[in-house]
């Protein structure tokens, strides 16, 4: 039983794993943080926000105060997520699903419980 969680991320409830929903690559246990199964690219905000004209000014946050982390599927290269964090902050755990409860709910809805 497969459930789409985000635009690019699914859960296979039978095997309890995160999946890239473009190439079906397994990203790890659905009871853990999917980001640990991704390739992570850290970028400076100055790489993202371009300079204004021929000045030193831009709209980039100060890289001493924040960093951009991009999470990619290691198989197909799809960007699954990105986040802005202060330097040294651990990767966030942004999705926490009660797998057992979701399985029960879907089984009741399908009349198999």
Helix, strand, coil proportions of the chain in percent (round to 5)? 20, 30, 50
In the chain, domain spans: 2-110
Whose tokens are 């942004």? That residue is: 94
pLDDT one-digit tens code per residue, 33-68: 999 999 999 998 888 877 666 776 677 788 889 999
pTM, two decimals, is 0.86
74 or 57: which leads in pLDDT: 74
* Secondary structure letter of residue 10 according to DSSP: E
pLDDT at residue number 59: 76
pLDDT at residue number 47: 83
Task: Give me the percent of the chain exceeding a pLDDT of 70.
Answer: 92
Residue 113 has pLDDT above 70, yes or no: no
């Amino acid at each position: 039983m497969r459930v789409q969680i985000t635009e690019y991320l699914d859960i296979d409830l039978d095997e309890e794993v995160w999946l890239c929903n473009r190439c079906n690559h397994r990203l790890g246990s659905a009871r853990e943080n999917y980001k640990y199964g991704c390739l992570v690219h850290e970028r400076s905000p100055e790489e993202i926000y371009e300079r204004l004209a021929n000045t030193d000014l831009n709209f980039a946050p100060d890289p001493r105060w924040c960093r951009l982390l991009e999470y990619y599927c290691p198989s197909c290269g799809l960007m699954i997520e990105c986040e802005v964090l202060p330097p040294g902050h651990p990767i966030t755990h942004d999705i926490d699903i009660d797998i057992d409860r979701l399985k029960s709910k879907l089984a009741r809805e399908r009349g198999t419980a």
